[in-house]
């Protein structure tokens, strides 16, 4: 049991002695100022009403009833209106290093998910062009969320949903046909709503080279199938450059060919959840929290976009994914209510919050103080591969993940290229490399290094104690980030832990110190390297040993 858990248990026992009603759930936090102690709680303030006493008085009574030595607490200070600040035995804090080293690659992992399956769908771009930087942010988010869930005991399936049906695909085919006509000697006439990027010309040229006999008279179905296949390959290359892999690729078109969309319509009709008006078929989404009912099938017989989305999520449920998470752009905000309403109307047993959504804002790319708006190949936007080629996949991932998903993100290429503390990913990776370098310079095998038999109680310097406390917090940070589906918490944690590691590295020597000190500091260096490595692995970022 950790010191945090022991303090919490002692607080609960003491509160019960005072007659506090259940549930008693003390919250422990790290004080922002280390001079206030190692842990702090506001439990006394939350008990003021039920116990009908002043918080400061309750705090004193709790302190008197706690078995402080059992929790490794040296002292408890009552501050402000009733905060309780706990100071731990420095030797107990230092013992946290031993657990990090013994756990190694498993440090930070837990079994909260109990092996239950979860489907994480992300990117899911229309196969109408290369992936843009917004897709890149989504790829980084989805992949990191998936890894966080894996680290907390979930059985994760990463899924890409190809929107290979609808108006945009028709516009794609017509755009390629226009380029084919130009190759045959005609004028380029891109249709309204069509695509103008150089990649369209490249697709047309490849089609003409592979089908020289019918390039002039190719039918739209052949062009459509070819263009979609080519762009799926293009997007696969984008994802490979980013190091993102999927377990399943699901085609929207299969929902129609398999009859799943029509089956959903029939089920909704049978459940009396639809009605006809003005020649269209409407779904009673207002019964499930929407501000008004929505058209499901238009008067021309075509379906609106959210109906196949409902059918698609039915397949997730039927495939055994009773937890599903969709990572999408903020422009899908209206989709949330409609898809959930459609699933509730089907009455198949899903919860009101199925699926879960993580929505992200778009990305603004800056270079030399100016916004970069277009790609040489895509024409109208910046591609994720352009960005990776410019600054590298590690920087792209970290920058995409260092802000909360629903916040706007400015990607500064100039900062991402710097080899200094201004560049957050360089700063974190350098901390890892420095910890590795201590062992390399000392000629010590890092991987076989063990803290067994080492007296860690000598790690009493303030910089050592603060770094050790940060390392010990890693499992809780991972658990919290996974529960909230917020990978930026890992990025923030890594930046702060790297700062503490750099501070310790600069202020205290490891090699050449008396043996007792050297061995203990080697253990701290190894523990720091392990935690930073594990955190970077969660984000899908490499861990260089030299920089």
E strands present in 10-154: 28-29, 39-41, 73-79, 83-88, 117-121
Is the domain 94-111+421-539 a CATH 1.10.730.10 member?
yes
Q: Distance of CA 225 to CAs 123, 221, 239, Å? A: 21, 6, 21
| pLDDT (mean) for 149-162 | 97
More confident call, 87 vs 189 = 87
Tens digits of per-residue pLDDT, 506-542? Answer: 999 999 999 999 999 999 999 999 999 999 999 999 9
Is the pLDDT confidence value at 194 over 90? no
Please report, rounded to a whole number, the percentage of residues in the chain having pLDDT higher than 70.
Answer: 99
Out of 144-148, 183-187, 245-249, 259-263, which region has the weakest mean confidence (pLDDT)?
183-187
Instruction: Give burial (CB, 10 Å; 0-12/13-18/19+) of 355.
Output: buried
pLDDT at 215: 64
Q: How many CA atoms lie within 13 A of 391 on its CB side?
A: 25
356: Cβ contacts below 8 Å, ≥ 6 apart: 323, 324, 325, 326, 485
Categorize the per-residue pLDDT at 60 as very low, low, confident or very high, splitting at 50, 70 and 90: very high
Q: Of 299, 307, 296, whose CA–CA distance to 256 is shortest?
A: 307
Q: Which two tokens stand for residue 383?
A: 């591609």
Q: How confident is the model at residue 489 (pLDDT cuts 50, 70, 90)?
A: very high
Q: Where are the domains of the chain?
A: 3-88, 94-111+421-539, 171-242, 363-416
Reported CATH class of domain 3-88: alpha beta
> Is the overall model pTM greater than 0.75, yes or no?
yes
| pLDDT over 90 at 187, yes or no | no
Average pLDDT over the chain reads 94
pLDDT for residue 71: 77
pLDDT reading at 500 higher than 70 = yes
Asked if residues 101 and 531 have their Cβ atoms less than 8 Å apart, the reply is no
């Amino acid at each position: 049991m950790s010191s945090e858990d022991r303090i919490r248990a002692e607080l609960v026992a003491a509160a019960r002695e005072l007659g506090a009603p259940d549930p008693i759930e003390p919250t422990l936090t790290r004080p922002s100022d280390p001079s206030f102690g190692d842990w702090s709680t506001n439990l006394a303030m939350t008990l003021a009403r039920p116990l009908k006493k002043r918080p400061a008085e309750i705090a004193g009574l709790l302190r008197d009833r706690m078995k402080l030595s059992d929790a490794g607490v040296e002292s408890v200070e009552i501050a402000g209106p009733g905060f309780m600040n706990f100071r731990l035995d420095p030797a107990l804090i230092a013992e946290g290093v031993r657990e990090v080293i013994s756990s190694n690659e498993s440090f930070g992992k837990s079994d909260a998910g109990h092996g239950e399956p979860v489907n994480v769908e992300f990117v899911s771009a229309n196969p109408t062009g290369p992936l843009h930087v917004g897709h890149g942010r989504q790829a980084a988010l989805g992949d990191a969320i998936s890894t966080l869930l894996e680290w907390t005991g979930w059985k994760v399936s990463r899924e890409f949903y190809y929107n290979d049906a609808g108006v945009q695909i028709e516009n794609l085919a017509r755009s390629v046909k226009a380029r084919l006509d130009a190759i045959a000697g005609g004028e380029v006439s891109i249709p309204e709503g069509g695509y103008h990027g150089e990649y369209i010309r490249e697709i047309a040229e490849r089609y003409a080279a592979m089908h020289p006999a019918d390039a002039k008279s190719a039918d739209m179905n052949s062009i459509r199938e070819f263009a979609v296949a080519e762009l799926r390959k293009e997007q696969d290359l984008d994802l490979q450059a980013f190091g993102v892999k999927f377990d399943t690729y699901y085609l929207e078109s299969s929902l129609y060919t398999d009859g799943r969309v029509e089956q959903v319509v029939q089920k909704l009709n049978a459940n009396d959840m639809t009605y006809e008006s003005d020649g269209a078929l409407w779904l009673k989404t207002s019964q499930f929290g929407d501000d008004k009912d929505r058209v499901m099938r238009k008067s021309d017989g075509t379906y609106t976009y959210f109906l196949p989305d409902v059918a698609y999520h039915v397949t997730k449920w039927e495939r055994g994914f009773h937890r599903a998470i969709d990572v999408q752009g903020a422009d899908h905000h209206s989709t949330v209510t409609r898809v959930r309403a459609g699933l509730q109307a089907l009455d198949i047993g899903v919860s009101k919050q199925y699926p879960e959504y993580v929505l992200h804002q778009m990305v603004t790319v800056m270079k030399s103080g100016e916004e970069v708006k277009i790609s040489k190949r895509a024409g109208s936007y910046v591609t994720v591969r352009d960005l990776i080629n410019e600054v590298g996949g590690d920087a792209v991932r970290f920058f995409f993940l260092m802000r909360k998903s629903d916040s706007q993100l400015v990607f500064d290429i100039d900062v991402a290229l710097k080899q200094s503390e201004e560049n957050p990913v360089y700063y974190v990776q350098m901390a890892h490399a420095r910890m590795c370098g201590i062992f390399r310079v000392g000629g010590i095998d890092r991987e076989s290094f063990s803290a067994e038999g080492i007296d860690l109680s000598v790690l009493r310097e303030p910089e050592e104690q603060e770094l050790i406390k940060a390392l010990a917090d890693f499992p809780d940070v991972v658990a919290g980030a996974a529960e909230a589906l917020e990978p930026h918490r890992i990025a923030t944690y890594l930046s702060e832990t790297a700062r503490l590691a750099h501070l310790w590295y600069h202020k205290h020597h490891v090699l050449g110190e008396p043996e007792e000190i050297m061995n203990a500091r080697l253990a701290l260096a190894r523990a720091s390297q392990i935690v930073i490595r594990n955190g970077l692995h969660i984000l899908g970022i490499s861990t260089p040993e030299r920089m």
